[in-house]
């Protein structure tokens, strides 16, 4: 499976992946998923929100056990974030078939669309739409950096966007969702190859628009300038400081400048803040402090600061009984929280949900250097098969 998937959407220059929602690379990933489903004789379908499903057993029967993840990536992402969960799902099914178990509940493998939100700015679009935490109107208003609307991009990729929106009927047929994912930190590094998730930190994305005045870099007196770059730079430093003091995280990883000329003072700097904390009150306080620092500095620079929250995910505490059942099945594995968002975090509001993490020796993720050892990936497949066997089979 990896041999077919690894070349898709890989940048020769960086070695990282550029698999953005509803692009050609995404279509190739989706074709790969369909082929894996059909090769195994699973019933393949695409839901109204563009998520792909592969079913063993009757999809309508209810109380299904579902596993899977996503195949899209961040800009220059690693090979494992997302695909490991999908590849492991198919491999775990193969393992269960070779064990000769009898399935007592329907089983499905899912590929959620647009998990990273790299193109349209909002993460987990496929699962958010299904769960009703992103409305159809909000999704219709999303645009990529070139101005293309999400529904148009979907349509061009062959998915009819007319029916996107809440899909409670489908989620109501799921009895348990288990997402396997590469760990994106180093908690498991000195411990074991596989762990179980306890919680996801609350997190969100905020867009800061710093409005200044374009002018000549060589002739505009310092006292006449309204330079938004200064306000932006100060805000980046403030974000690091406020987050550090609160034990939180705040990152500006994306910036857009207009007109983006070397010899012109910028008219507009747009910076996207990603912030996360262990609890929602801390996260709110940190973002408010960063906003205040930006506004104070903007006042001195003659720069107007506008803040827009583009997405938000509240704290997720995974289903206690399901988490304990997984930990029991796997025999005393580490239980860990994560600062990374996942479709599992979105589904957790509607369905008993759990996650398995596979060890990442460096902790690096959202980078071409992301890695997991083959032996650990195989341990992940065995763990997922054990969990699915416990949930969906009798011996």
| Rounded least distance, CB 340 to ligand HGY, Å | 4
Contacted entry of Mn ion, ligand HGY, none for residue 341, CB cut-off 5 to 8 Å set by kind:
ligand HGY
Which of 107, 123, 283, 316 binds ligand HGY (CB under 6 A)? It is 123
Q: In this complex, which beta carbon is closest to ligand HGY, that of residue 78 or of residue 193?
A: 78
Residue with tokens 């935490």: 133
Contact 328, 383 (CB under 8 A): no
Structure tokens at 82: 């997302």
Which of 68, 202, 341, 352 binds ligand HGY (CB under 6 A)? It is 341
Which of 81, 301, 386, 389 binds Mn ion (CB under 5 A)? It is 81
Contacted entry of Mn ion, ligand HGY, none for residue 139, CB cut-off 5 to 8 Å set by kind:
none
**By CB under 6 A, which span of 115-123, 163-171, 240-248, 300-308 interacts with ligand HGY?**
115-123
Q: In this complex, which beta carbon is closest to Mn ion, that of residue 114 or of residue 167?
A: 114
The answer to whether 340 contacts ligand HGY (rule: CB under 6 A) is yes
The answer to whether 343 contacts Mn ion (rule: CB under 5 A) is no
The answer to whether 78 contacts ligand HGY (rule: CB under 6 A) is no
Q: What is the 3-state secondary structure (H, E, C) of 50-113?
A: CCEEEEECCCCCCCEEEEEEECCCCCCECCCCCHHHHHHHHHHHHHHHHHCCEECCCEEEEEEC
The answer to whether 82 contacts Mn ion (rule: CB under 5 A) is yes
Contacted entry of ligand HGY, Mn ion, none for residue 151, CB cut-off 5 to 8 Å set by kind:
none
| Rounded least distance, CB 123 to Mn ion, Å | 8
Please give the size of the binding site for ligand HGY, defined by CB under 6 A: 5
| Rounded least distance, CB 248 to ligand HGY, Å | 14
Q: In this complex, which beta carbon is closest to ligand HGY, that of residue 109 or of residue 123?
A: 123
The answer to whether 116 contacts ligand HGY (rule: CB under 6 A) is yes
| Rounded least distance, CB 342 to ligand HGY, Å | 6
Contact residues toward ligand HGY (CB under 6 A) are 115-116, 123, 340-341
């Amino acid at each position: 499976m990896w041999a077919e998937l690894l070349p898709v959407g890989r940048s020769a220059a960086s070695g990282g992946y550029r698999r953005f929602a509803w692009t050609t690379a995404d279509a190739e990933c989706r074709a790969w998923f369909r082929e894996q489903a059909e090769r195994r004789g699973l019933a393949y379908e695409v839901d109204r929100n563009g998520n792909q499903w592969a079913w063993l057993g009757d999809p309508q029967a209810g109380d299904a056990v579902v596993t899977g993840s996503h195949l899209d990536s961040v800009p220059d992402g690693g090979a494992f974030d997302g695909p490991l969960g999908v590849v492991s799902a198919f491999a775990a099914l193969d393992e269960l078939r070779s064990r000769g178990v009898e399935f007592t509940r329907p089983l499905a493998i899912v590929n959620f669309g647009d998990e990273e939100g790299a193109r349209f700015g909002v993460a987990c679009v496929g699962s958010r739409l299904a769960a009703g935490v992103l409305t159809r109107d909000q999704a219709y208003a999303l645009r990529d950096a070139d101005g293309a609307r999400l529904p148009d991009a979907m349509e061009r990729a062959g998915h009819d966007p007319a029916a996107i929106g809440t899909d409670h009927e489908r989620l109501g047929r799921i009895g348990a969702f288990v997402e396997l994912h590469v760990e994106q930190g180093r908690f498991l590094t000195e411990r074991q190859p596989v762990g179980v998730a306890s919680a996801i930190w609350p997190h969100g994305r905020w867009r800061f628009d710093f409005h200044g005045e374009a002018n000549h870099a060589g002739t505009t007196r310092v006292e006449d300038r309204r330079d938004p770059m200064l306000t932006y730079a100060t805000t980046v430093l403030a974000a690091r400081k406020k987050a550090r003091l609160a034990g939180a995280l705040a990152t500006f990883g994306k910036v857009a400048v207009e007109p983006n000329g070397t010899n012109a003072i910028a008219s507009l700097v747009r910076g996207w803040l990603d912030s996360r904390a262990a609890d929602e009150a801390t996260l709110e306080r940190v973002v408010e402090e960063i906003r205040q620092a930006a506004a104070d500095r903007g006042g001195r620079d003659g720069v107007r600061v506008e803040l827009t929250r583009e997405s938000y995910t509240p704290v997720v505490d995974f289903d206690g009984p399901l988490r304990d059942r997984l930990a029991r099945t796997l025999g005393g594995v580490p239980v860990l929280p994560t600062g990374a968002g996942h479709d599992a975090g979105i589904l957790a509001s509607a369905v008993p949900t759990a996650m398995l993490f596979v060890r990442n020796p460096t902790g690096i993720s959202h980078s071409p250097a992301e890695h997991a050892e083959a032996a650990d990936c195989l341990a992940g497949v065995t763990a997922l098969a054990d969990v699915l066997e416990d949930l969906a089979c009798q011996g």
